[in-house]
Amino acid sequence: MDKYIKYIYSARKDDTESKGESKGNLFRELASHQESPPGYEDFFRRYEEALSQAGATFATFEIKDSRLVIGLGQEGVTETSMTWHHTYGVPVIPATAIKGLMSHFAAQRLGGEAWFQKIAEGKTQRGTAQKVLFGD
């Protein structure tokens, strides 16, 4: 994303104003882009067709209100990074993130010994249900 910054702020520690202004302009400009990158719609159609031919079922969804944030552990040009498709530059949700989200959801719904087994005071291990659903 740093290639989109129109100007670089001063390296002085006390120059926080231009730093914030530069990042703010970058994010406003990124948020204003609504169209798909060239070729992305064709790629996505081919991807859906390949999934269908392989017998996979899938669903398209829109996240309207969620605390789901992807890629915070990655390095990026800003303090918090996101996960982007390498070729088309669109945000993606990796399968590992979906696995973690499903694990969290199941833990909230199941809870109890099926999910966590108490092995000592203040210590738990994965329960049978968690092992079956998400591997040992």
The domain locations on the chain are 94-136
Query: pLDDT tens-digit profile of 36-70?
Result: 788 888 998 998 999 999 999 877 777 676 666 66
Residue 47 CB neighbour total at 10 angstroms? 11
Q: Which one is predicted more confidently, 67 or 124? A: 124
Q: Which one is predicted more confidently, 3 or 58? A: 58
Tokens in use for 47? 């991807």
Percent of the chain with pLDDT over 70: 64
Task: Say if residues 129 and 114 touch (Cβ distance below 8 Å).
Answer: yes
pTM of the shown model: 0.45
